[in-house]
Structures are given as structure tokens and as C-alpha cells.
Amino acid sequence: MWKRARESVCLICRSASTPTRALLEPTQPWLGQRTFATRRPERPSRMVLSDRVARGPSSPPGKGGDVPKKPRNKPDGPWAGMNRTVANIDRTRSPAKFASTRGRDDGNGKDDRRGGKERDFKALKMQRALSTVPYSLRQAVKARLTEIESFDQFDLRQDVKDAVTNEVLKGMTDIKPTPVQKLAISAMLGNPLKELRIRRRSKDALQREEFLLAAETGSGKTLAYLLPTIHHLRKQEAEDENVTRYNERLQVEREHRNGAPVSEWIEKFEPHPNTARPRAIVLVPTAELVEQVYKVAKSISHVAKFKVRPLSANYNPAKIQRNLYSHGGIDMIISTPHILAKIAERDPNILSRVHHLVIDEADSLFDRSFSPETGKIVDRSLPSLKQMVLCSATIPRRLDNYLDAHFPNIQRIVTPNLHAIPRRVQLGVIDVSKDPYRNNKLLACADAIWSIGKDAASHDGPGGPGEIDVKRIMVFVNERDSTQEVTDYLISKGIDAVALHRDTSDQRQAEALATFTSNEPLKITKEESEKRAQLVKSRRHLPNTKVIVATDLASRGIDTLAVRHVVLYDVPHTTIDFIHRLGRAGRMGRRGRGIVLVGKNDRRDVVAEVKESMYMGQALI
Ligand SMILES: Nc1ncnc2c1ncn2[C@@H]1O[C@H](COP(=O)(O)OP(=O)(O)OP(=O)(O)O)[C@@H](O)[C@H]1O
């Protein structure tokens, strides 16, 4: 079935544009034979954040799924309205008043005049959406968040709990689960909120559990899905007769060989029942994320004892072969969809025993560049699946509608601040069209970095007065071609910058990312800094900053805990990009600062809207 071509309107410029390729493409068979043609013709819904993630669309797209329900006259419960933070004004009852103060409404909660007034309607629309989340559900979430205070309260295996404190969060005191971990771990261990009523529409629901984990960037989603998955893996293994029999045979063979190695015997005669048959799969969009999630899973495996292997384009075919067909069996694979789908084409059995499938950065992996491969993996794994988890910090409307239509039983675990950039992250705006930059964005960018560096230089490093604290700054550009241009300019201005894009060599990329993902403070002594300055004595030198210039490649999922500053060289195309790029700073409760450079062709009102939403702590839509 072909989706109907229609005019779409760009989020940033709101100008009419030709239909996107996605709208013209045939629907993937695994997406089901549905059309999204009746969607409102404004902008592609894959670029629009859903404001109804906790509840799902009220009905499938095309049947009013996108249209908010008419507000009910009856309140939601006996105490409804008591915890309102805004006046309970029903704008449908006083159109004249609203029209006079806010301009004309186009019926979708939007002002048809362009400019500042539109924001008022957006805010109103969001409040209306929030107020219809059932009172009982809000209360249940609140209760669960307060009742769980430590990882010990979860029904997890002791070795998994030990792995959290002794490996993953080693060295931290007062370890507490984050909100998404509290909600997701309990639910995935079989203790969901009963208020999250699941509409059991299909038989599949009886044999498989499905979860959507939607929570802010840097809120600990990786542990939220890894811990219960590993718990289930270990539990199932203990109950698996094949594995028990294999271990007994292995023991007998060891005794028989009097301590001599048994690896040859295993290779030739009796491979482990889990060889090349992983029971858990985690899909992520990039090779960098494969390494990151693998590192966390590997550290848990030191204590909880399971076999995890990474697969990505970073590994050559021989290494991939070794990783998959290792004699000791394999329990969990962390992979990009492209590599795994290719392997599954050659050896379909590889996905024949998958019990747990996690799709991290789900909005990317269900988007057009990944969806064919992701779809193949989902399709092949479905018959054996016991749990499927989709995870993301941004849920576009299209994904929301898709989930409602194809996974109606999905349990939506959504944290209250989803789609909002936390207030602890501040956004500064530099108008590049004004003096002293006069549209020289490169100069403005270098200046912004110099001001961050100079600011930091006035403070002593953590080691005392003899040390300088090195700041890690990420600069995001929209186009890959700009990364090198911006990097070269920054270097010419004495700034230590590295370009990160698909063509950067693996080693250089890994080195640069390692500096940015390390949680250790980065510092140099004053003598070192002076020496470096002398080496480049012909020009100014900023010794106390390290900069990565990247495209979206580095904006998704990369855990840059130590980054406090993000420079948005280009205004992001969508609010989704805003959330992910700014989400590299201010992670896990830390403070952060974003600086956006606005040129003469950029939409200032969109930037102003994002800034205001951030100031008010509201979700971006
Ligand atoms: N309970 C916890 N207490 C303290 N730190 C934690 C806790 N859980 C996770 N972390 C740390 O928080 C950081 C961010 O976690 P993670 O990468 O899982 O975030 P995320 O929600 O997946 O972010 P993104 O949406 O950007 O991918 C990691 O460094 C992780 O070790």
C-alpha cells in the first residue's frame, strides 16, 4: 500500500516542502498494512514529539489518533484538581476572551499568526494534555517513586545487585535507583503498576511482555533494562535442563582428563547449547553505543557471570565469527541492526532462541534508515520472545501511533519530565548577525569556547592551585561537511579540537570519545599548560579545554557525564535533536550549559520557544 503524497511543513521554517521519502515509501510488511495518509498535513510525525506517551494515542491514526479528546465534564476522581499548578480555565467556553488576548486559534491549539503568541497556545495545550493523565496513575507512579529507595528493594538476584554496587557504580556512595529504574525494574520483574491497565487485544500478550521505557537523557535507562534482563537470563539458565546436562558432562570430562584443557573436546564434540544462540539481544544504532553498552554489560558479567559479546562494523568478520561461535556459548549480544540482520540472513537460527529483545534509541531504530533491519530482527525473534523493551528519550508521534497499532499491550513506563530539558541545563543564545560577529559563525563559536575556557581558568582545579581543570566541550553541527571546517578554524584559534564524523579514523574517534566519556576529572598542571602555550607561541592558545565537533553521530546515547558545555553551532532541525544534543550535558542530575548560535537565516522564534519551555520546565513539542 502506498502512502499518499501530501504537502508537509518543515518544523523550523514552517514552509511548505515536498513530501518526504518516508511518506512516499511503501509501508514495510512488518509495519503492517496501514496508512498514515490521513495525518494532519503539517510536518512529518516522525519529527514531532508525542505529548501523549504515557497513555498512547486514543485511537489509531486516521481515526482521530492525533486529535486530543474533548475535555470531559466530569473530573478524574474525587481529588482531581487539587494538585493543579495552573488555573483550571476551559478555553473552549470563553472563545471570545481568548481570541482577543491570544489571536486566532486554528483549531489545533495553534495560533495562525506567526510569532510569540503561538507559545501561549502551546503551553495551554500541554497543560490540558497533562491534566488528563488519570489521577490514579499519577498517584501510583508517585507512590512507587517514594516507596523504593535502594536497589536492595528489588527482587533481583543478589549477584546482579552486587554488580551494580561493586562494578557499574563502583566508588559511589549512597547509590539509589533513578526514577526510570524504579519504575522499569519493578515492572520487568513482574510487579507493574496495576493502574497501567493493559488492553489485552492479542493472544501474543499472554506469552510476551512488552515495555516502553521513555525517560529523559542521562536518566539511567541502560541499567533500567540491563539489570532485569540479566536477572531473567541467569534465572532461566539455572532452570534450563540442556545447560545443566552440559555442565554435568563438562565436569565428568574434566575429571576424566585429570585437569588437562577440555576446549578441544568442546569444539569437536559437544558445543555449549547456547553457542550462536543468544537469549538476549540489545540493539543500538551506532558502533560507539555498542561499545558503551557492552562495557556496562561486561562489567556486570564479572559478578553475575554470563557471556556477552559485541557486534558492530568495528569488528572484522573473523572476530565476529569468534564472538558468535565461541565454545563457551553466548547469552547476550549487543549489536547494531545492520550487522545482526546480515548475520541472521546467513544463519536464521541465530535468532531462534531470543527471549529478551531490547531496542535502545527506539525512535531511531524504527525510523526509515534502520527500520528494514530492525523489522527483520523483530520478526524473526517474535516467536520465541518473552520480553521486548523499547527505550528512548524522545517518542515521536509516529512511533507512538505505531506502537499503539502494533503493540497494543505495551506497558508505557514514562517519567513525568519526558521531553523536557531539565532546568539545571541553561541555554544561552548568541545572535551571530550582530556585532562583533556580523554573520561570522566560526568566529562566534571560537569566541564562545574561549569565554568558557577563560571562565574556567579563573578557578583552580580539583588538585589545588597548581592545577588547571580541563573543560570538555561538545560542538554540534547539522552537516557532516561542516565538522572539519569548524574544527580547522578552532584549531587555528588555539583550541584543542577534534572532528568526529563517519570518516574519522576508528582509533582517533575512540581516543576522542574516551576523553569525553570518562568520568575522571581531566587536569593539567600550570607548568604543562605554559609549555603547551610556548609550543604554539605564534598564536593564542587555550590550554584548558578539549573540544569535539560532531554531527548527530555523537548526540545519541553517548554517556558524556563530564561534559558541562554544549555549543549548538547550527540550530537543530527538530526539537528531538535539541533534546539529544543538549542531553549530552547535565546528565544524571548535573548542571549543564548550552549555547546556540543563531544566524540570520535561522528561526529565532523556535529557539526562543525552546528556551522558554526549558525555563518553565515544560516538555518540548
Ligand atoms: N542509579 C544511578 N545512580 C547514579 N548514577 C547512575 C545510576 N544509574 C546510572 N547511572 C549513571 O548515569 C549515567 C547515564 O546513564 P545512561 O547512559 O544509562 O543514561 P540514558 O538514560 O540511557 O541516557 P541517553 O538517553 O542519553 O542514552 C551513566 O554514567 C550511568 O553509569
**Contacting residues for 117 by C-beta, under 8 A, at least 6 apart:** 102, 103, 111
Q: Determine the average pLDDT of the residues in 60-68.
A: 46
Higher-confidence residue of 253 and 290: namely 290
**Contacting residues for 602 by C-beta, under 8 A, at least 6 apart:** 12, 570, 571
CB of 282 closer than 6 A to ligand 1? no
CB of 39 closer than 6 A to ligand 1? no
Cα(335) to centroid(ligand 1), Å: 19
Pocket test for ligand 1, best of 176, 391, 556, 588 (most atoms within 8 A of CB): 588
Q: Determine the average pLDDT of the residues in 11-40.
A: 35
The identity of residue 287, as a single letter, is A
Higher-confidence residue of 528 and 354: namely 354
pLDDT of residue 139: 77
Q: Per-residue pLDDT tens for 565-597?
A: 999 999 998 888 999 999 999 898 899 999 999
Cα(215) to centroid(ligand 1), Å: 11
Q: What is the ipTM of this complex?
A: 0.99
CB of 337 closer than 6 A to ligand 1? no
Cα(561) to centroid(ligand 1), Å: 8
**Contacting residues for 149 by C-beta, under 8 A, at least 6 apart:** 176
Report the alpha-carbon distance of residue 374 to residue 344 in Å, rounded: 12
Q: What are the phi and psi torsion angles at 461 (to 5°)?
A: -70, 175
Cα(212) to centroid(ligand 1), Å: 17
Cα(2) to centroid(ligand 1), Å: 41
Helix (H) or strand (E) holding 532: helix 526-535
Q: Kindly tell me the burial class for residue 605, based on how many C-beta atoms sit within 10 Å of its own C-beta (0-12, 13-18, 19 or more).
A: middle
pLDDT of residue 85: 61
CB of 588 closer than 6 A to ligand 1? yes
Mean pLDDT of the chain: 77
Q: Which residue's CA is the closest to the ligand 1 atom numbered 1?
A: 177
Cα(221) to centroid(ligand 1), Å: 6
pLDDT of residue 53: 75
What is the distance between the terminal CA atoms of the chain, rounded to a whole angstrom?
30
Atom of ligand 1 nearest to the CA of 172: 4
pLDDT of residue 313: 87
Q: CA separation (Å) from 268 to 245, 252, 271, 325, 524? A: 18, 17, 7, 13, 54
Q: Per-residue pLDDT tens for 381-403?
A: 999 999 999 999 998 888 888 88
CB of 179 closer than 6 A to ligand 1? no
Cα(220) to centroid(ligand 1), Å: 3
> Is-above-0.80 flag for pTM?
no
pLDDT of residue 58: 56
512 pLDDT more than 90: no
Cα(261) to centroid(ligand 1), Å: 40
Pocket test for ligand 1, best of 223, 226, 293, 520 (most atoms within 8 A of CB): 223
Cell numbers that stand for 36 in this block: 498514515
Strands 467-469 and 523-525: antiparallel
CB of 288 closer than 6 A to ligand 1? no
Strands 387-392 and 209-214: parallel
193 pLDDT more than 50: yes
80 pLDDT more than 80: no
For the beta carbon of residue 195, count every other beta carbon within 10 angstroms.
15
CB of 221 closer than 6 A to ligand 1? yes
Q: What are the phi and psi torsion angles at 445 (to 5°)?
A: -65, -45
Q: CA separation (Å) from 84 to 135, 300, 380? A: 11, 42, 47
**Contacting residues for 83 by C-beta, under 8 A, at least 6 apart:** none
Q: Which residue's CA is the closest to the ligand 1 atom numbered 14?
A: 218
CB of 89 closer than 6 A to ligand 1? no
Higher-confidence residue of 180 and 270: namely 180
Report the alpha-carbon distance of residue 93 to residue 273 in Å, rounded: 67
CB of 543 closer than 6 A to ligand 1? no
Are 556 and 505 within 8 A, CB to CB? no
Pocket test for ligand 1, best of 151, 181, 222 (most atoms within 8 A of CB): 222
Cα(414) to centroid(ligand 1), Å: 16
Under DSSP, the state recorded for 68 is: P
Q: Using pLDDT thresholds of 50, 70 and 90, give the confidence band for residue 134.
A: low
